[in-house]
């Protein structure tokens, strides 16, 4: 694939939209040192520009606010932040300026990395592994399989901002600085609390174990406060709240459990691929079937046999790949 395609793959990877062939291609490419360097630069740029393109269907004002929020809460130096905010106030947010804003932030990102010694720290939980680690501010995180958390060396100095792709449990240390978790769908603002954040399945799902958190979408129009034992979902510039059900299931992965509640089979299979570091593929006519199940310390083959029986399918292993297909 050429350079443009690599960047397209990167954007799809950030949004968990890679096809099976693209995932195989990416896994093979990651063996190359040159590719890893290029990929690391894309990740760095994402941290500061984060989806600077103006998507079709989004209002200019929404994108303008989103770009401003990214720079305000990101790890860019105070000088860049003040220059940006001054420029923003001096002009009216019309389409041409929204586009210019995208270019400016992308330029800032590259300039920032070329002219400073800022270090981006990355914590990765590979498939079939879970990681527990303490952050510089004393907060503790637990990363689920196939997840990634990044933050700059300005963390706990100028800000407490992290970027999450995947799933993590946070035990946030109390501080005057707000702890901000950036995801593809919005931001989670925390002062001192325990919560679970999951960004798989084309949405950001937040479950509060203790304390209070605030969900903010990137348009700035949707803001919601969550209390203990409440769950909120950020998706497509909307915020939803759920309560009155077993919130404890949101944290069950920490005990080695796998729980599906009316999950589309394609999402359930993606979860199993992460948990077991395997390659399971399903027929197109099974992808949108709903599955409810609870597994604890089960072998992969037993789980697949259960799913096959529940969906009227059969499972077959060909080489290193499990195939789930209709009978």
**Does a structural domain hold residue 48?**
yes
**Does a structural domain hold residue 1?**
no
Q: Which two tokens stand for residue 318?
A: 């060909």
Burial class (CB in 10 A: 0-12, 13-18, 19+), 185: buried
Percent of the chain surpassing pLDDT 90: 48
- Same domain as 126, residue 109: no
- Same domain as 139, residue 99: no
Q: Work out the average pLDDT over 171-181.
A: 93
Range of the domain at 261: 256-326
**Does a structural domain hold residue 23?**
no
**Does a structural domain hold residue 17?**
no
The count of structural domains within the chain is 3
- Same domain as 199, residue 91: no
- Over 60: is that where the pLDDT of 291 sits? yes
Q: Which two tokens stand for residue 296?
A: 């604890």
- Same domain as 265, residue 237: no
The domain that holds 143 is classified in CATH as 2.60.120.1440
Report yes or no: 277 and 127 within 8 Å, Cβ to Cβ: yes
- Same domain as 174, residue 84: no
- Same domain as 261, residue 229: no
- Same domain as 221, residue 169: yes
Torsion from C-alpha of 301, 305, 311, 312, nearest 10 degrees: 130
Q: CA-CA distance, 318 to 139, in Å (whole number)?
A: 44
- Same domain as 175, residue 155: yes
Which DSSP letter does residue 159 get? B
- Same domain as 153, residue 111: no
Per-residue pLDDT tens over the stretch 183-241 = 988 899 997 899 999 999 889 999 999 999 999 887 667 789 999 999 999 987 788 88
Burial class (CB in 10 A: 0-12, 13-18, 19+), 63: buried
């Amino acid at each position: 694939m050429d350079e443009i395609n690599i960047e397209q793959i990167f954007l799809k990877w950030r949004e968990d939209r890679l096809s099976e062939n693209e995932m195989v291609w990416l896994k093979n490419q990651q063996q190359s040192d040159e590719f890893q360097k290029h990929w690391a630069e894309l990740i760095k740029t994402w941290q500061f520009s984060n989806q600077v393109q103006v998507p079709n269907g989004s209002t200019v004002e929404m994108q303008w606010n989103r770009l401003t929020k990214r720079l305000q809460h990101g790890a860019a130096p105070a000088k860049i932040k003040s220059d940006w905010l001054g420029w923003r106030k001096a002009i009216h947010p019309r389409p041409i300026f929204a586009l210019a804003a995208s270019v400016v932030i992308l330029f800032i990102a590259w300039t920032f990395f070329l002219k400073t010694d800022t270090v981006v720290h990355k914590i990765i939980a590979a498939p079939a592994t879970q990681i527990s680690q303490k952050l510089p501010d004393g907060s503790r995180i637990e990363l689920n399989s196939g997840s990634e958390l990044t933050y700059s060396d300005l963390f706990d100095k100028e800000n407490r901002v992290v970027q999450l792709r995947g799933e993590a449990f946070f035990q946030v240390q109390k501080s005057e600085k707000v702890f901000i978790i950036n995801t593809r769908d919005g931001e989670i603002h925390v002062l001192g609390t325990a919560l679970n954040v999951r960004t798989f399945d084309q949405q950001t799902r937040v479950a509060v174990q203790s304390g209070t958190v605030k969900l903010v979408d990137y348009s700035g129009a949707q803001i919601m406060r969550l209390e203990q034992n409440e769950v909120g979902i950020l998706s497509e510039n909307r915020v939803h709240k759920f309560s009155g059900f077993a919130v404890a299931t949101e944290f069950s992965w920490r005990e080695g459990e796998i729980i599906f509640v009316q999950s589309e089979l394609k999402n359930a299979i993606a979860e199993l691929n992460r948990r077991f570091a395997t390659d399971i593929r399903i027929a197109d006519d099974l992808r949108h079937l709903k599955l409810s199940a609870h597994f604890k310390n089960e072998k992969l083959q037993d789980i697949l046999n259960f799913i096959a029986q529940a969906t009227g399918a059969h499972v077959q292993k060909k080489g290193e790949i499990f195939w789930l297909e209709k009978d």
